[in-house]
Amino acid sequence: MKRSEVQVGSKVLIVQKKDQQSGVLTEGIVKRILTKSASHPHGIKVMLESGFVGRVKEVK
């Protein structure tokens, strides 16, 4: 996943740190992009408007 594919305001599915084992996804709107590099092998880390932080698995 590339950082350029994720925009502030996009609806995304993320996996939170606590859910990495189970693979449970959380849906929300991107408030901030936390990953500085252009890409990351495990997904771009974002903060959702709800306050949850996780890595993007899918952009809706």
Residue spans per domain, the chain: 3-59
Fold of 3-59: SH3 type barrels. (2.30.30)
The list of the chain residues with pLDDT below 70 reads none
Closest of 8, 13, 7, 15 to residue 42, by C-alpha: 15
Output the pLDDT for position 9: 98
Q: Work out the number of other CB atoms within 10 angstroms of the CB of residue 36.
A: 8
Question: End-to-end alpha-carbon separation of the chain, Å?
Answer: 14
pLDDT of residue 52: 98
Residue with tokens 């936390």: 34
Determine the pLDDT at residue 1: 87
- What pLDDT is recorded for position 39? 95
pTM equals 0.93
